[in-house]
Amino acid sequence: MHHVTDFYRYNSYVRKKYLEAIEKLPWEEVVKDRGASLGSIRNVFLHVLNAYRYWFLYAVKDDLKGYRGIDIEGCKSVDEMRRHEMEVDSMVKLFVESLHEEDLSKVHTIHAESVTYNVTLEAILMHMIEEELQHRGEINCMFWQQDVDPPIIEYGQWSGQWVEL
């Protein structure tokens, strides 16, 4: 269980560093379609937050019919991105810190649009770690397209604690 909470704490810390770096860019560059999976830095960043909402607020409660994501196109500033990140981060923190070792093997039945499947909570947790890392790589590439170094954070630079802004 410790490995899971460490990854979630680390990703929380790093998301905030990315927001600091995104804030230094002109907004036009943040929303520019750069050919990534979801186009822009803003879209990819908010997609990750929506994925957390999807899995932790709706899928594990078998309430996908109630799912409502963040309006990505309606997000018009880094301040709004930060507000969404803080909301999702608080939710993730409460969710992850409430877990016990035995929760990892719990099987959830997911009733998604036209398919139903079973998945363990551990698989969901690991999927979301991978999801965020994959999309962070995309965001890195979008920074590099602008000749800007992304805020790649070494694991050793992180204190191991949840970080609040």
Write the pLDDT tens digit of every residue in 82-126.
999 999 999 999 999 999 999 999 999 998 888 898 999 999 999
- What ranges make up the beta strands (E) of the chain? 107-112, 115-120
Phi-psi domain of 13 (left: phi exceeds 0; alpha: psi -120 through 50; beta: other): alpha
| Cα distance between residue 22 and residue 28, in whole Å | 11
| Cα distance between residue 163 and residue 82, in whole Å | 13
The reply to whether the predicted model has a pTM over 0.85 is: yes
1.20.120.450, 3.40.190.10, 3.40.50.1820, 3.40.50.1000: which CATH number matches 2-157?
1.20.120.450
